[in-house]
Structure 1
Amino acid sequence: MKLLDIGDVAKRTGIAPSTLRYYDDEGLIDSLARHGLRRQFDPNVILQLTLISMGKTAGFSLKEIKQMLTPDGAPKIDKLEIVAKASQLDKQIAQLSALRDTLNHVATCPAPSHMECKSFRRLVSVASKRLATHKTR
């Protein structure tokens, strides 16, 4: 098996070598050897880094992500935790969709003032209710 140099991993993933070293030090990934001072990784590290990136994008902390990986980097996922995160993302998507709709309306609204526009006031009212509902949960 040919190991990947840290520079190769950085090029393939777009993740800075300093971040790769940090992930290695924190136990999220494991370097298998060194070539001089340069860390060497199993090619499967690319998949592990993809899973880590997906977890970060979904809003998981590195500590949470580490708990979702076995020592060899395979996923070890608590399905209830994933369902809860998916639900949280659904709420965030709804909020962002409402914000997008409001911004698009503002950009195209023919009213002389947005405060005079019934559609704008309705969109802001809906967004306000969603925020209030989200904060009370």
Structure 2
Amino acid sequence: MDNKLVREDPLTVGSVAKRCGVKVSTLHFYESKGLIKSTRNIGNQRRYNRQVLRRVSLIKAAQKMGITLSEIKEKLDTLNGKTAPNQEDWQRLSMHWKDSLNERIQSMQKLRDYLSGCIGCGCLSMDACPLYNENDKLATIGNGAVLIDNLAVK
């Protein structure tokens, strides 16, 4: 059989899932979110262009970095209809995410460093709270764990 013909044959959902190391349901989910696209054959079964392998790999890599699917989709939508991102696309996308990741890392380091302290939840009920929230003073700052939220900006 001609190798070129084989490479252009569309892939089944099962073969894409196996090659990418994801579950079939993950591919269905990605497709429902507009991250990948498939066509349907005469039997109404999904078929994927081989370039989807690179796109799924990019999605997985970005997710491992903590990038949300909505952020990934936003950037993939800038590829002007390209099915598979190339190295230049990855460089551009990853540079955008680098600043966001650095901010997240700093925030997590601060959270780690202050984890054993008071989070400023405003509970008034903890006898051992290192920061007694007398007269609910923290309510003027905001709702929820306001000291944790403010760590990111300190």
Give the alignment's TM-score, normalised by structure 1: 0.61
Residue 96 of structure 2 is matched in structure 1 by: 81
The code of the aligned residue for 2:106 comes to: K
Query: Which of residues 103, 106, 115 in structure 2 aligns to 1:91?
Result: 106
Once residues 46 and 61 of structure 1 are traced to their aligned partners in structure 2, the CA distance between those partners, rounded to angstroms, is 19
Query: Which of residues 18, 23, 36 in structure 1 aligns to 2:30?
Result: 23
Equivalences for residues 15-94 of structure 1 within 5 A: 15-34=22-41, 36-69=43-76, 70=79, 71-73=81-83, 74=85, 75=89, 77=92, 81-88=96-103, 90-91=105-106
Once residues 62 and 33 of structure 2 are traced to their aligned partners in structure 1, the CA distance between those partners, rounded to angstroms, is 16
Residue 151 of structure 2 is matched in structure 1 by: 135
Give the alignment's TM-score, normalised by structure 2: 0.55
Contact map agreement 2:12 2:46 (CA 8 A) in 1: yes
Q: Deviations over 1:29-83 (max 9, x none)?
A: 1113335232110111111001001111112211110111123232474576323
Gaps of 5+ in 1: 100-126
Output the aligned Cα RMSD.
3.1
Once residues 35 and 11 of structure 1 are traced to their aligned partners in structure 2, the CA distance between those partners, rounded to angstroms, is 23
Give the count of matched residue pairs: 107
Gaps of 5+ in 2: 1-7, 118-146
Identity %: 25
